[in-house]
Amino acid sequence: MSWSSLLPNVQEDPILWLNDREQICHVIPLPSKGPIRGGFGVATTYRVLILSPTLKILAERMNAPPPGSLVPLGSFTVAYCSHGDFKLRYLTGVPESFGQSGLIASFPLPMYNYCPHWMLGIRPDRFLFNSNHNGTRLVERGQPSKFFC
């Protein structure tokens, strides 16, 4: 079985080498525009990558822990939420662009525990995201109602 049968944007059977103990968390195909074949957005345990259709790394940004999701913003650009600082960021592999990575927006910090944001989509007038709270609320024995463990 070849890569091109699994991923229609791939023309050949390329290889992408990862670092030691690095695992792929998300892969999204980026849309093609006319004759220009879209690349791939990839999130690993350590990085967010923009890959060409031949799996050449066009752009990368260190990001740990990995984002919960990637959202395409074009043939060679993705948006994602960075968990460490609760910011909506972009990464682009477009040559001669105004920056390979940057900040789109900041989300409010969670009050009592780690709460990652998962991007669902971006529209011209809004961001679609889901906040996932992984804490357990415990209110007993006189503890305040805003206490999480």
Over residues 98-117, the pLDDT tens digits come to: 568 888 888 777 665 555 67
Residue 81 to residue 76: CA distance in whole angstroms: 17
Phi, psi for 5 (deg, rounded to 5): -80, -25
3 band by pLDDT with thresholds 50, 70 and 90: low
Could you tell me the CA-to-CA distances from 148 to 27, 41, 59, 138, 141 in Å, in that order?
A: 33, 35, 39, 6, 14
State yes or no: pLDDT of 1 exceeds 50.
no
| pTM of the predicted structure, to 2 decimals | 0.72
147 band by pLDDT with thresholds 50, 70 and 90: low
135 vs 132, residue with greater confidence: 132
- The amino acid at residue 34 is G
